[in-house]
Amino acid sequence: MVEVRKICCIGAGYVGGPTCSVIAQMCPEVTVTVVDVNEDRIRAWNSDSLPIFEPGLQEVVDSCRGVNLFFSTDIDEAIKNADLVFISVNTPTKTFGIGKGRAADLKYIEACARRIADVSIGCKIVVEKSTVPVRAAESIRRIFNANTKSSFNFQVLSNPEFLAEGTAVTDLKNPDRVLIGGDETPEGQHAIEALRSIYEHWVPKSKIITTNTWSSELSKLAANAFLAQRISSINSISALCEVTGADVEEVAHAIGTDQRIGSCFLKASVGFGGSCFQKDVLNLVYLCEVLNLPEVARYWQQVIEINDYQRKRFSSRIISCLFNTVTDKKIALLGFAFKKNTGDTRESSSIYISRYLLEEGACLHIYDPKVKAQQIMHDLTQPTPSERHDPATVSRLVTIVTDPYKACENAHAIVICTEWDMFTELDYEKIYKAMLKPAFIFDGRRILDSLHDQLQHIGFQVETIGKRVNQRIHFTAIEDKSEIDQQQPLKKIKL
């Protein structure tokens, strides 16, 4: 069995950075070097302001950086010296060509494989850490076989990550499982054991699962597809709740107590986001289509369509409640990250909701405690496979603020898109006084449930996901009772 003393990780992003930082902390005798072509990113990893926000990550990095954890742009040297190389580069969805909008773009994986083959000597274990389509390891092997020097021996393993952003450090230190896939040959099994020995420094043996390479790759896609499916399932029920008078939180609790179902990922919201769920489900759809499984492809495609529907439905509700127009109206959008406790905005529902409102001419004032202004503007102007977004229009209609109270000042409505804890602690009485009336709150994350009575007492019109909130109508004192009798009742708006 190869003894792993030096590890190189290609890619210093959301996967490579935290994963290798924890490995370095847990394996003090192993030297870990994280490399990237992005000099600014590496500079940030070597500073007191890390390029990504994760609770507890700064403490982990500080404990071993410069000791056995290093961040560098010298990729070739790190590969040469390593016994084991993680490939943790981005695998985005293709934006053009065959499979556009669904298939994974493996150009960065291929570039890494060619670079490893070009500079390596001796024995190397190469590990897929990025989320890749099934049989991607075979592509890496073919590149190695076609370019291998006589002095280079290799084994390719699959070791997908199962991190949840916002709890990445906790997930790494206390994983539900670690999955390692490799060849069923003696050499492949030796490589599996070498990687297993790294994780066994802190992970119980019973939680380390070994499979063949293909099972490992498919397990990652299937896991994310199942999680996304649960979110779309409860979101579909939330639409039904809003028209029947049921409360999706109560429904979720009732079905979640069934041990066969469980309560995880039954939180209705404006839709799932992040770097993996949509990308992996679409990848699974494309894989099924290519393998002539159209019924299976259509099944998983519906998970994405429900997610899109939920975002559009929420946006339409905002427009409908604001008297069917948001043109030139100031709307405070609180939260831009795809979930709390992270600065990651990839596929965030906030992006889609913002775009829908911008198309209607709304003036958005956006606040997020961890997402930088440049990132927000980049996300809103980035072209998609189906459309382009005019940077001049976005610049004119979007204002990024650093104070949530400033965002809400003179606004017609507040839209909560990320479940940051701080949004439950704001002084809503102060906010209400500074807003235009009627003042609306649209809670896309169900974080204000316990405050509904208080918010209505203040004067807010409250709208939320998966529940019809009975609005309290406040009347000012009128001496002539006939004036009250002549007032028209509020019309129900059909969504």
DSSP 378-401: HHHH---SS----HHHHHHHEEE-
The predicted pLDDT at position 482 comes to: 40
Annotated binding residue at 352? Answer: no
Q: Are 341 and 377 in contact (CB under 8 A)?
A: no
Catalytic residues: 276
> Which residues lie across from 400 on neighbouring strands?
366
Annotated binding residue at 279? Answer: yes
Residue found under tokens 């382009």: 388
- Give the tokens for residue 453: 């009575």
- Give the tokens for residue 491: 């019309």
Superfamily designation of domain 211-473: NAD(P)-binding Rossmann-like Domain (3.40.50.720)
Question: What is the three-class DSSP state of 277?
Answer: helix
Interatomic CA distance for residues 5 and 2, integer angstroms: 9
Residue found under tokens 């899109």: 308
Domain residue spans of the chain: 6-203, 211-473
- Give the tokens for residue 300: 């998983």
Helix, strand and coil content of the chain, in percent to the nearest 5, comes to 45, 15, 40
Question: What is the three-class DSSP state of 211?
Answer: strand
Interatomic CA distance for residues 154 and 334, integer angstroms: 49
In terms of Cβ atoms closer than 10 Å to its own Cβ (0-12, 13-18, 19+), residue 82 is: buried
Interatomic CA distance for residues 320 and 264, integer angstroms: 32
- Most distant pair of Cα atoms in the chain: their distance: 99
The predicted pLDDT at position 478 comes to: 38
Residue 464 identity (one-letter amino acid): T
CATH architecture observed for domain 6-203: 3-Layer(aba) Sandwich (3.40)
> Which residues lie across from 104 on neighbouring strands?
93
Annotated binding residue at 440? Answer: no
Question: What is the three-class DSSP state of 449?
Answer: helix
Interatomic CA distance for residues 321 and 324, integer angstroms: 7
The predicted pLDDT at position 484 comes to: 34
The predicted pLDDT at position 385 comes to: 60
The predicted pLDDT at position 490 comes to: 40
Annotated binding residue at 269? Answer: yes
Start-to-end CA span in the chain (Å): 63
Interatomic CA distance for residues 283 and 93, integer angstroms: 8
Give the CA count within 13 Å in the CB-facing half-sphere of 185. 8
Q: Are 428 and 451 in contact (CB under 8 A)?
A: yes
If one counts every other C-beta atom within 10 angstroms of the C-beta of residue 435, the result is: 22
Q: What letter would DSSP give residue 169? A: H
- Give the tokens for residue 216: 């490992």
Q: Are 423 and 404 in contact (CB under 8 A)?
A: yes
| 438 preceded by a cis bond (ω within 30 of 0) | yes
Interatomic CA distance for residues 22 and 28, integer angstroms: 10
- Identify the CA nearest to 444 among candidates 320, 319, 315, 291: 315
Annotated binding residue at 260? Answer: yes
Residue found under tokens 């996304």: 228
Annotated binding residue at 270? Answer: yes
Annotated binding residue at 14? Answer: yes
Listing DSSP states for 348-371 in one string gives -HHHHHHHHHHHTT-EEEEE-SSS
Annotated binding residue at 188? Answer: no
Annotated binding residue at 267? Answer: yes
Annotated binding residue at 436? Answer: no
Residue found under tokens 């580069």: 89
Which residues fall within 8 angstroms of residue 360, CB to CB, at 6 or more apart? 319, 325, 326, 327
Rg of the Cα atoms in the chain: 25
Q: List, in sequence order, the alpha helices (H) in 129-212.
A: 136-147, 168-173, 186-199
The predicted pLDDT at position 352 comes to: 96
Interatomic CA distance for residues 71 and 80, integer angstroms: 16
Residue found under tokens 């001496």: 479
- Identify the CA nearest to 182 among candidates 207, 209, 211: 211
Interatomic CA distance for residues 27 and 196, integer angstroms: 13
Q: Are 343 and 53 in contact (CB under 8 A)?
A: yes
Residue 197 identity (one-letter amino acid): S
pTM confidence score: 0.88
Annotated binding residue at 122? Answer: no
Q: Which residues of the chain have pLDDT under 70?
A: 1, 150-151, 385-388, 471-495
Annotated binding residue at 173? Answer: no
Residue 436 identity (one-letter amino acid): L
Annotated binding residue at 89? Answer: yes
